[in-house]
Chains A and B, each alone.
Chain A
Amino acid sequence: MLESLKAGLFAVGRRSLIIVLLFLYEIIWSFILYRYVHSVVGPILYRYPGEDIPNWSSLFWIESEIRLLKTDMADAYVLTLLAMLLVRMLLTPLINAGVFQTIHHSTGDQWRVFIDGIRRMWGRFLSLYALQTLAALAPLYWLVPPVARALRNGDLVSLLQPGSLLPWIGYLLYLALARLGFMYIQFAVASGERWGAALLIWLRKLLPSLGLTACILLIALFLQSILAAASLFWAGLVALIIYQATPLLRVALKIWEIASQHDLWLRSSRWTSR
């Protein structure tokens, strides 16, 4: 596992172009999202009465809740965010095709390999991504109705009971597992091997595979929390710079994870074919 982690890190170093490319992609999205959120949050901040007039502040919260639950006030914002997500979801399989191709082919011109991956495999990655999204969203069919019911009844307290939180924690675990499983299938697609074999390897190497992701997640959380704390502490320009720089870290960590998992897969499949 440690070797795969090391190999992954090594791979990150050799895919700097792709990382910079993805960083640019993310930073553009971050900028758009920040501007949008700012345009919504800013005016609200002007309207929030604050500690000066506590009765008006509590009325502010009560009125917000009433309007959110009873009117379509939030619809425009939610729809805009969903539209953004949709565009990103349409781009995701293309990026996946390029990234997995680049990870699999460690030699050659990164850019050409990346574009070649998109051109040759976008169709397969699109259907895989559709399947993955379907698998990821399916449990919401059972998870959302109780929340909707509680919201309709204004019973927000019950949502925070352990009984109603537990399924959501389970859902997050499920999401992580589904994502990993599909990652291995994508390794197989990028290398022209069979899906089934890749999945079998993943299942056989489930623990180290989970270990890799957990390791990188912990490192990511650690770094993110330091940055978040710093940005809250030095709000203003510093925060803005940190905010703009975090996507780079995120992209690098993501590629690291994929590359390490790829290394683990490669070792195991070599071992299998031997």
Chain B
Amino acid sequence: MKSRDHRRLYGAIPAILAACFFIYIVFADNGLDAPATVSLQARPESSSGSAPSNKPGTPGTLPETPVPKIEPLSNRIVDYHISVRLDAERHMLHGEQTVTWRHPGKLPVQELYFHLYPNAFRDDRTTFNRESGGKLRDDERTPDSIGYMEILSITRSDGADLLDTMRYVQPDDDNPADQTLMVIKLPEPVEPGQSVTLNMTFQVQLPYIYARMGYAGDFVMAGQWFPKLAVYEPKGRRGAAQEGWNLHQYHGNSEFYADFGTYNIKIDVPSSHIVAATGFPVAPHKDDGVRRLYHFYAEDVHDFAWAASPDFIYAEEAFSTPHLPGVKIKLYLDPHQAHLEKRYFTAAKRALSSFSEWYGAYPYSTLSIVVPPSGAGGAGGMEYPTLITAWEASEAQPSRELERVVVHEIGHQFWYGIVASNEFEEAWLDEGFTTYVEDKVMESQYGLTRSLPILSSYITDPEPLKLNAWDYDNHEVYAENVYTRASLVLQDIEQTIGTKKMKQVLRTYFQRWKFRHPTTQDFQKVLQDVTHRNWDSYFKQFVYGDMMIDYAVTGVKSRQTEQHGTTVYETRVYLERLGGVHRPVEVAIKLADGSIHMEKWNGAEKQKELVLYTEQPAEWVLVDPEFRQILENRHYNNFMRAEIAASDEVRWSYGTSKLVELLFSIFAW
């Protein structure tokens, strides 16, 4: 008990520090403390890896109240300074970007790779559109859904022009029409530990939105909108045997993977527009009556997104709990749903407080919720660091899906934003975990539970959970596995080790891997460390393999016989295992007098024959009557009757064949 108290005391230190920092930021945000904003804007040319607020050498700019020195939460490999201008008429972005990359490896690197995600929308030959058929979920491409990114110039900080070295690469599928990944060659290599700074100008044509980024009317969702550095993985990161670039194109099913860093972003929009963005505003926006200039800053995040619309109704609430030092929730509501403000805030607070209590504090000072207007469904239900989008505001009285999506995307802040797995290669680590924790909040906060047997029955195409996103047959199979099957696997683990232990597992995993990039193996390691048992067989079957649980009754036979001079019934039950093995199976046998006889089977053999002697014949057999086998996805073969009435058999067969015959007779003799 004591040691736990101690731990709680130590745990409070970062919370207090963060609280001070939050107060400081709130003041800076409101423009009440002008000097503070200066220090926040100042960014060194070389990436020193420290927060701008405590950069040595700028003591004069510190505010009166000394701000505690805060260590960076992440390794801050990248540093972006971008000025972007929205041409609302032509749905274009014009950007200037200064990006600094710090070499994290041990070998010289002469090539830099950038993701140019908007090129996924260039035409129907891109890998994204080929694989997805030009749609995401239910949102389909329109003739206006053409988008692209053009790199106008690239120079190194010393002025060396690199534009001519630029070319597109397609490591995943050799599709020459795909321009979502670009490489540039430096005149000389970057040495380990050194940094390189590039200046780039670019422009983006926004597509009419159907897949995360684009426009719909005056609404703009800028996600994956700037040339974004790919991840150079040092040896050992995510189990890499050798260091090198982790390179993937933008796929129909895939999401993203990037390094942590800092973002200093100026966004210039028409003065009618309100902008929501990752991070926090460095100063109040400036408005000359024609254009409006926003300035945001974010650190220890691995992406930066923003949205703009003249129609946003803005509201904000400060929120803190004993487990959450303080966060400003910023809501950008669609007028159609103006009356739903409270529901959004409540959902966000319940999610933030639950996750912070269970896994660890939400470490950022803001969380922005953008509600896309009706017609911008493609923007909905998406997560970016400290910014999420809800479903499009097409309904005035939406169901609990409103809360569910907010809770889900906030879940992603933890299992994507902070514990930053590689979504290209192991999407289950964010989608599966997020779906699982979303269910936990919907259950504890809203009393909504989803039927696990039904969810499991929904799994008709099980595939390995650790699989490249584009290696799933299609989006349905991808979603069925990385969301639903993955969350069921976590539910199954919880059922095995208990709810309390499971929270401990996730908390340990979060604490151990926050601001880093874990793999499936790393999660298994945490699970084994916390539970002190080996999970190899389980992971091999259900995580790395495509197994589900499937037990079947294949026969039930009761016959009268003599035993010790009395008449008894001998019942033989034939069972089969068609899926994986995890825990023993219960078998219920109902007898003619209505009593239920329970049998247990270890469930490991491929086939099993149960024999029992009872005073009554068996009526039916049911495997796993209490739904303990969470991954059982074929429930219909769990049940079998010993016999059925001949009349029933005739009646159903007769009725059905009659119906078929009637249909036949319309077309033929």
Partners in one complex: yes
Q: Measuring CB to CB, which residues of chain A are less than 8 angstroms from any residue of chain B? A: 22, 25-26, 29-30, 33-34, 36-38, 41-42, 45-49, 52-53, 56, 59-60, 62-64, 66-67, 70-71, 81, 84-85, 88-89, 91-92, 95-96, 133, 136, 175, 228, 231-232, 235-236, 239-240, 243, 250
Q: Does B80 contact A (CB under 8 A)?
A: no
Q: Count chain A CB atoms within 10 A of each CB in B461, B590, B636, B652 and give the residue with the most.
A: B636
CB pair A89–B657 under 8 Å, yes or no, is: no
Whether B667 pairs with A38 at a CB distance below 8 angstroms is no
Q: Is A88 touching B635 in the complex (CB atoms < 8 A)?
A: no
With contacts A231-B654, A235-B647, A235-B650 taken as known, whether A63 is within 8 angstroms of B666 at the C-beta atoms is no
Assess whether A34 is in contact with B653, with CB atoms less than 8 Å apart: yes
> DSSP class of B's interface residues: helix, strand, loop or mixed?
helix
Interface centre among A38, A45, A46, A84 (most CB of B within 10 A): A46
* Residue B640 lies at the interface, judged by CB distance under 8 Å to chain A: yes
Check: B94 CB closer than 8 A to any chain A CB: no
> Given A59-B457, A81-B660, A239-B651, A47–B637 Cβ distance below 8 Å?
yes
In the complex, residue of chain A having the shortest beta-carbon distance to the beta carbon of B665: A250
Verify B657–A37 contact, CB threshold 8 A.
yes
Chain A's closest residue to B637 (CB) is A47
> Within the assembled complex, what's the spacing in Å between the Cα atoms of A133 and B590?
52
In the complex, the answer to whether A47 meets B622 with C-beta atoms within 8 Å is no
Q: Across the interface, do B453 and A91 meet the contact criterion of CB distance under 8 Å?
A: no
Closest chain B CB from A52 CB (angstroms)? 7
A contact residues around B640 at 8 Å (CB): 46-47
Contact status of A232 and B664, CB under 8 A, knowing A63-B635, A88-B669: no
Contact A66 B650 (CB under 8 A): no
Chain B stretch 618-666: residues in CB contact (< 8 A) with chain A: 620, 622, 625, 634-641, 644, 646-654, 656-658, 660-661, 664-666
Closest to A176 in B: B666
A-B contact pairs, 27 of them (CB 8 A): A29-B661, A33-B660, A34-B654, A34-B657, A37-B657, A38-B649, A41-B652, A42-B653, A45-B652, A46-B640, A47-B639, A53-B639, A59-B457, A62-B457, A63-B634, A66-B460, A70-B476, A85-B667, A88-B664, A88-B668, A89-B668, A91-B668, A228-B658, A239-B647, A239-B650, A239-B651, A239-B654
Residues in chain A near residue B638, CB distance under 8 A: 56
Residues of chain B with a CB closer than 8 A to A133's CB: 667
Q: Does B27 contact A (CB under 8 A)?
A: no
The CA of A151 and the CA of B643, in the complex, are separated in Å by: 34
What chain A residues lie within 8 Å of B458 (beta carbons)? 66, 70
- Contact across chains for A46 and B641 when beta carbons are under 8 A apart: yes
A85 and B668 in contact, given A47-B637, A49-B622, A59-B454 (Cβ under 8 angstroms): yes
Which residue of A has the minimal Cβ distance to B642? A46
Q: Are A67 and B668 in contact (CB under 8 A)?
A: no
Query: How far does the alpha carbon of A136 sit from the alpha carbon of B660 in the complex, in Å?
Result: 18
Instruction: Tell me whether A92 and B654 are in contact in the complex, defined as CB-CB below 8 angstroms, given that A47-B639, A49-B639, A66-B460 are known contacts.
Output: no
- CA A228 to CA B655, docked complex, whole Å: 9
Q: Which of B622, B650, B657 contacts A33 (CB 8 A)?
A: B657
Within the complex, the shortest CB–CB distance from A162 to chain B, in Å, comes to 23
Q: How far is the CA of A66 from the CA of B458 in the complex (A)?
A: 6
Closest Cβ of chain A: how far from B559's Cβ, in Å? Answer: 17
Do B669 and A38 touch across chains, with their CB atoms under 8 A apart? no
Q: How far is the CB of B34 from chain A (nearest CB, A)?
A: 56
Hey, which chain A residues are within 8 Å of B641, CB to CB? 45-47
* In the complex, chain A residues whose CB is within 8 Å of the CB of B664: 84-85, 88
Additional A-B contacts beyond A63-B636, A239-B647 (4; CB < 8 A) = A49-B620, A88-B664, A239-B654, A243-B658
Q: How far is the CB of A198 from chain B (nearest CB, A)?
A: 21
Count chain B CB atoms within 10 A of each CB in A36, A47, A239 and give the residue with the most: A47
A52 vs B664: C-alpha distance when bound (angstroms): 36
Q: Which residues of A contact B620 (CB under 8 A)?
A: 49, 52
Minimum CB–CB distance for A168 against chain B, Å? 12
Q: Are A53 and B622 in contact, CB atoms less than 8 angstroms apart?
A: yes
Contact B634 A56 (CB under 8 A): no
In the complex with contacts A49-B622, A136-B667, A41-B653 CB distance below 8 A: yes
> Are A52 and B657 CB-contacts (below 8 A) given A62-B454, A235-B651?
no
Contact across chains for A37 and B635 when beta carbons are under 8 A apart: no
The smallest beta-carbon distance between A44 and chain B, in angstroms, is: 8
Known: A47-B636, A49-B639, A63-B457. A22 touches B669 (CB 8 A): yes
